[in-house]
Structure 1
Amino acid sequence: MSTQTDFAALFPDEVVTEARTRLLDVPGLRGKLALITIDNGHDHTKPSTFGPGGLTSLNTALDEAFAAEPAAIAVTGKPFVFAVGADLSGIGQISQREHAHQVAKTGHDVFRRLTESTIPTFAFVNGATLGGGLELALSCHYRTVSEGVSAVAFPECFLGLFPGWGGTQLLPNLIGADSAVSVIIENSLNQNKMLDAKKATGLGIFDELLGSADFLEESVRWAVRVANGEQTVQRPEVDRGQAWDDAVERAKGIVQARTQGASPAVTRAVELIELARGNDLDAGYAAETEALADALMSDELRAGLYSFDLTQKRAKKPAGAPDKSLAREVNKVGVVGAGLMAGQLALLFVRRLQVPVVITDVDQGRIDKGVAYIHGEIDKLAGKGRLSPDATNRLKALVTGSLDKAAFADADFVIEAVFEEMSVKQKVFGELEQHVSPEAILATNTSSLSISEMAAQLNNPERVVGFHFFNPVAVLPLLEVVRGAKTDDGALATAFSVSKQLKKSSVLVSDAPAFVVNRLLTRFMGEIIATVDEGTPFDVADRALTPLGLPMSPLVLLQLVGPAVAQHVNETMHAAYPDRFGLSDNLDRFVKAGKTAVWQSDEAGNQVLDPEVAELWVQGSNPSTEEQVRERALRALAEEAQLMLDEEVVAEPHDLDLCMILGAGWPFWLGGITPYLDRAGHAEQVNGKRFLPRGVASVPTA
């Protein structure tokens, strides 16, 4: 067992989670109940975690509990929180594997005391239980959970890690390999999906679901019955035969589809679940310890922690955002347009702000169709149980349509979602200015056009702001908030305030062509298309980025974005930077032919090149290899990212990373685009310098 002083230098910021033991006289129990409460001393917004100090405290509490020879031992948490896992604050400072190994072994040593206890042990899970917190609960013999608990999960794979304090061994042997694959791998890689108490109990993770009002009292009564033998906890037998094989194969398929093998720790998670079939804790824990020590020394984990820090901290306090006191209240929203994007925007605004939302368009038919779409989506939410009947009716009543932009007269925030053409958007804003108040914010969802030019002819250009969402609007969390040449702090502060109410993560971006995500993706995609034009086979070009584990291949991304949209953005970029953003005659023909995808499925379901695309695409005779395509695309990204920083499109490299993680699905385990380009050497090769200091999002030199 390590001590707190072993790692004090590596975890200087640890808020030590104290574990306090109380000996309780409980009616009906033949002896005392040793109740251990986990509490880091903060309010419920600061969840309890386990660093070296916390594990030492828990170990001491267990010493006290066992010394008292009680009839039962139980572990619970402070209000609203059981425990949310390991304290990762010092992981980035570990530079020696022996230290990583000690961290890995310590968690096993402490938690296993509960598993191997001859005294019955219980976990009373009263709040959020994630990662190491869930492993602590699994280490107990029995578990109750409060019906109010909404966060039960193993989020480790999302970060480029795996449950390493018993989770990969205990969970499959409790609920079966297939369900364990869902919890440990599938849910984690699915944007860190959480289970609520009812679903977790249904899977067999918990033995008893109890009401939240008197949860602790009821848990104690239940534990007394179990400890006295009055109540038997029955669990289904785990199938260790073909079902286990099938689960492992399913896990391998999920990992390949989601990571392309680019996250070693996730692959190790599958191997550890496979090993758990033997239900040998000595072998399983030893393997977990070695694997966790390796993972803690990996660049992938450091990158994942860097990404996590960005999304949890920087995203909540956007760099450069004006003081929030300057924000104006928004009590009514206008949306110009009634198409799919406008409908998605209107739905988001009415759901999150719960204020009147009015949409306009050029004819009543389009307006009626737009309102019907929004109402239909609200009905779908109600059908899934996410809205009550009253809430459904209230939200639908807040959405209206009008042919007359005078309906925006009392709107505080109006966003346009019309055709991506400068003259069209200027005309819309000019018309809006005749109706809205001088204080109303005029926002544009443009993906690439100049905010300053859009506002240039207005009487009040200072209230125009870019508000660039990503599709699908309800899913992708990023919002690029764009400051035009004359945008004032009040407009920006209001934009950031609205973004927060919409539950989006915002990054302040200057008014440069295509802003951040689309500029980087367009440069990257342009290089891929150029290699195909030169003669590289489509499949070779499309496989080139597979080692990165991106969420989709370049040509599949082209299909998702829409070739016409991609071509329009590329034309904007070519006009601004013709030396770096070329135009492809082939892509132009592709779009004019009405094609939307390069690939199609054959009768066997295999992905094959569309013969019509092969016929219209005129290729040269200078093909590249996968490695050459990959190097070319990444070097282009390194160049473009540095130019954007030189132009002050964003404040720091961290903002480029945040944009790509939240807006383009750049994997957590790559740590954003700049750390990856640093580690791969492209930043120094192209720009002569790194984006970030050494040791940021990578293993420091010992």
Structure 2
Amino acid sequence: MYAGQSVTLKMADSGIAELILDANGASVNVLNAHLQDELGQALAALGTRADVRGLLIYSAKPAFVLGADITEFTELFGMQAADISRWAGKVHGLFNTIEKLPYPTVAAVNGMALGGGLELSLAADFRVADKAAKLGLPEVTLGICPGWGGTVRLSRLVGAEAALGWMLSGKPVKAAQALTQGGLDAAVEADQLLDTARTLLKEAMAGERDYLANRLRKQAALDNNAATAAAMESLKQTLGKGLDVRYPAAPAILATVTSAMTEDFHKALAMEAKTFGELASGVEAKNLVGLFLNDQYLKRETKRWAKQAHPVAKAAVLGAGIMGGGIGYQAALNGTPMLMKDINQEALDLGMSHAGSILDRSISKGRMTEAGKEKVLSGIHPTLTYEGFTEVDYVVEAVVERLDVKRSVLAEVEHKVPDSAIVATNTSTISIDLLAEHLQRPDKFCGMHFFNPVHAMQLVEVIRGSQTSDETVATTVAFAAAMGKTPIVVNDCPGFLVNRVLFPYFNGFNRLVMDGVDFERIDQVMEQFGWPMGPAYLADVIGLDTMVHADKVLEDGFPERMGHDDRPIIESLLEQDALGQKNGVGFYEYGTDEHGKRYKRRSEKVAAILEQRVTRSTEITDAEIVERMMIPMCLETARCLEEHIVASATEADMGLILGLGFPRFRGGALRYIDNLGANLFAAQADAHAECGPLYCLTDDMRAMAESGKTFY
């Protein structure tokens, strides 16, 4: 009947036509423009046949359809909202054609049906899935709404509340839940999927199942009365709580679904298309789609490096405590046994206790069993000696952040492991080349910088020294990925990538405080900008002792830019034994009140220091606070790219997203410059030039502003 490169239509027995999705040369099906075109041709061919009495839709791949082709969104989202809405309307037409066929249709869903894939299955009258299948509408994570009928068909099929649960979370649901809620008609074992789907289709063809009633369920509006209005308003109030308006997709989905439930089916589809166009043309969607594509780029880079990697069957960490325990946990959780060595039994106990507490939290959330916990802990072997180190493939040094101590430990362990073993340092700031100076095998040495808390932070910086071999980098990248982390390769410099761009941000913060801007106001402004916490709170979380140490490393490394006109407030706090959350006193005081409720309040120590040290009082707007905080960070990120510390704008931005919590909807520092426009960013920097060298454009940035070029 029809044979394309992605879609095949053939006649089977009993008047059944089978529409098979099988993209040639691809491991999965995606609803790209090519597949959409072939689907249209197949449906046209189907319309010419009078002998068809039923249609079965299924995939020849391990999964049904994994949504739209996100790579096509970059060009599409550059269009006007109305044009994007019309694009969505064309796919509505395809799916409506399936839904209007004069005979029953069944979709057999295997593996996963996400986004447009689920929407395609919703166009069928019945859906059968294998029990292991997952179904979902993840569009909210890209800053958009389902655009091919998902907001309408699913909400009318399973009810607005259940459908919004799928759409607002973006998380796939298991087949069992979809069946219970009414999104599926059957869930069976994978080897029974097609037979069950064919049987169901034959029953519908024979009139034993009312396919028209099923079709009507997906199209029928709710009665437009006071009870419906009250129910929809209740949903808006309940589900709207906690939605972040800086991510407009979720509020828009909620508003569209609740408004459309009483509308005619085709008007509801038009409402969805309009919302899709408005969201897709917005900057947040462009940024979030950019992050998705960036993440795919990092995965490809990891695979490229992995081709040169040597396997790590057994590893070790030097230095226990919180960091060592976190690294040990992460390795053991993902199947790599790890020795955890320290010279202090208390540190070993703390490391094991920390790993256990992470596992206990997983158990409390239903993600882990007691047996699973014991298995993970059995993969961490605490030791006070080097016994067993002759068998390790990889060692991560995670001792105190002091050059002399690290040099001593690294030189010692190098003689305890096989010549083939890689030794890495978890330093956050100290130069890899400095640490390698007294090593016998500097080619097998690199940085492997985990972020704290290890189990929660996705990024690992893989730092290449001047003598580090490609094989060492490749093995470290592969090992980090095997531990469930996202590695980014950077070249050696003070602070590497993440800390190097973080401390100009803190430098900007200190200048604002010394100009008389209240630190709590700065925190509030930057949290409103999108940061998970403001700079003062972040400093307390990191630890003021750690902050002062890292700040001095950066100041020594880049004295012209990162020196301070005014001595940092963090140094004054540290002199008074204020460590931040480590001892409950920093910019804020932390504790528990008489009712057992945790509190965070302005500390008396910082109030006294500010009263003594701050002599200036500057009138400044919230927008100017954002500029003075963000310009140093963004410019330093651009310098890291110019100096080849990081290989691409993609890796630079993803480092900030994953390592610092840079606001995702803003896309990263370099995409933030692109969104502002390099000319406007340059004008902002020039307006604050009196703040010092951190606010001075590089020659490349000046040229970019003049030419209109972008990072992406």
Q: Which category describes the TM-score, using the shorter chain as reference length?
A: 0.7 to 0.9
Opposite residue 179 of structure 2, the aligned amino acid is T
Could you say if the C-alpha distance between residues 156 and 432 of structure 1 is closer, same or farther in structure 2, counting changes exceeding 3 Å?
A: same
Residues in 2 aligned to 1:697 and 1:39: alpha-carbon distance in whole angstroms: 36
Q: How far 1:443 moved relative to its partner?
A: 0.9
Counterpart amino acid of 1:154?
L
Q: Does 1:200 align with 2:178?
A: yes
**CA RMSD across the alignment:** 3.5
What residue number does 2:68 align with? 86
Q: How many Å apart are 1:312 and its aligned residue?
A: 0.6
Query: TM-score, structure 2 length as denominator?
Result: 0.84
* Selected match of 2:300 from 316, 319, 323: 316
Q: Give the 3 Å change call, closer, same or farther, for CA 580–203 of structure 1 in structure 2.
A: farther
1:165-564 equivalences under 5 Å are: 165-185=148-168, 187-188=169-170, 193-226=171-204, 228=206, 230=208, 240=228, 242-256=230-244, 261-317=245-301, 324-325=307-308, 327-352=309-334, 354-374=335-355, 377=358, 395-546=376-527, 548-564=529-545
Shift in CA distance, 538/381, structure 1 to aligned 2, threshold 3 Å: closer
Could you tell me which residue of structure 2 aligns to residue 33 of structure 1?
16
Asked whether the equivalents of residues 678 and 684 of structure 1 are also in contact (C-alpha less than 8 Å), the reply is no
The runs of 5 or more residues in structure 1 that have no matched partner are 1-15, 27-31
Question: Relative to structure 1, is the Cα distance of residues 608 and 667 closer, same or farther in structure 2, using a 3 angstrom cutoff?
Answer: closer
Q: Which digits, 9 at most, give the CA deviation of each residue in 1:358-398, with x for residues without a partner?
A: 11112234324433544565577678776788876654443
- 3-state secondary structure, aligned to 1:358: strand
Change (3 A) 1:174 1:693: farther
Q: Is the 8 A contact 2:315 2:395 kept in 1?
A: yes
| 1:626-637 equivalences in 2 (<5 Å) | 626-637=622-633
Structure 2, unaligned stretches of length 5 or more? 684-696
Q: 1:493 to 1:51 in 2, by over 3 A?
A: closer
Alpha-carbon distance in 2 for matches of 1:86, 1:270: 22
Relative to structure 1, is the Cα distance of residues 115 and 566 closer, same or farther in structure 2, using a 3 angstrom cutoff? farther
- Change beyond 3 A, Cα 1:377–1:84: same
Question: Cα gap change, 1:398/1:291 in structure 2, threshold over 3 Å: closer, same or farther?
Answer: closer
Q: Which amino acid aligns with 2:618?
A: N
1:172, CA displacement in angstroms?
2.5
The structure 2 residue matched to 1:120, chosen from 88, 99, 104, is: 104
Question: Of 647, 656, 662, which residue of structure 2 is paired with 1:651?
Answer: 647
- How does 1:577-588 map onto structure 2 within 5 Å? 577-581=558-562, 582=564, 584-588=567-571
Residues of 2 paired with 1:697 and 1:119: CA distance?
52
For the 8 Å contact 2:547–2:570, the answer to whether it is kept is no
Distance 1:554 1:664 in 2: 11
- 2:670 aligned with 1:688: no
Partner of 1:164: 147
Work out whether residues 501 and 633 of structure 2, in 8 Å CA contact, stay in contact via their aligned partners in 1.
yes
After the TM superposition, which residues 17-166 of structure 1 pair with which residues of structure 2 at under 5 Å, given as runs?
18-26=6-14, 32-44=15-27, 47-68=28-49, 70-94=52-76, 96-97=79-80, 99-117=83-101, 119-150=103-134, 152-166=135-149
2:674–2:710: 8 Å Cα contact kept in structure 1? no
- The structure-2 alpha-carbon separation of the partners of 1:60 and 1:489, relative to structure 1 and needing over 3 Å to count, comes to closer
Relative to 1, partners in 2 of residues 1:241 and 1:565: Cα closer, same or farther, differing over 3 Å? farther
CA distance in structure 2 between the aligned counterparts of 1:616 and 1:178, rounded to whole angstroms = 52
Displacement of 1:518 in angstroms is 2.0
* Equivalence for 1:8: none
Equivalent pair of 1:172/1:276 in contact (CA under 8 Å)? no
Q: In structure 2, what is the Cα distance between the partners aligned to 1:389 and 1:593?
A: 39
Q: How many residues align?
A: 663
1:657 Cα deviation after fit = 1.4
Q: What is the distance in 1 between the residues matched to 2:451 and 2:161? A: 34
Matched, 1:674 2:670: yes
Q: AA paired with 1:593?
A: A
Q: Is this contact kept in 1: 2:291–2:667, CA < 8 A?
A: yes
Q: Is the 8 A contact 1:318 1:508 kept in 2?
A: no
Give 1:215 deviation, angstroms. Answer: 1.0
How far apart are the structure 2 equivalents of 1:614 and 1:378? 37
- Conserved 8 A contact 1:678-1:692: no
Deviation at 1:154, TM superposition (A): 1.9
**In 2: Cα distance, 1:578 partner to 1:246 partner:** 58
Identity of aligned residues (%): 25
1:661 counterpart (642, 657, 662): 657
Which of structures 1 and 2 has the larger relative contact order (alpha carbons within 8 angstroms, sep 6+)? 1
Structure-2 change in CA distance of 1:323 and 1:122 (3 Å): closer
Q: Deviations over 1:478-523 (max 9, x none)?
A: 2211012322233222212212322332221111111112222222
TM-score between both structures, scaled by the size of structure 1? 0.85
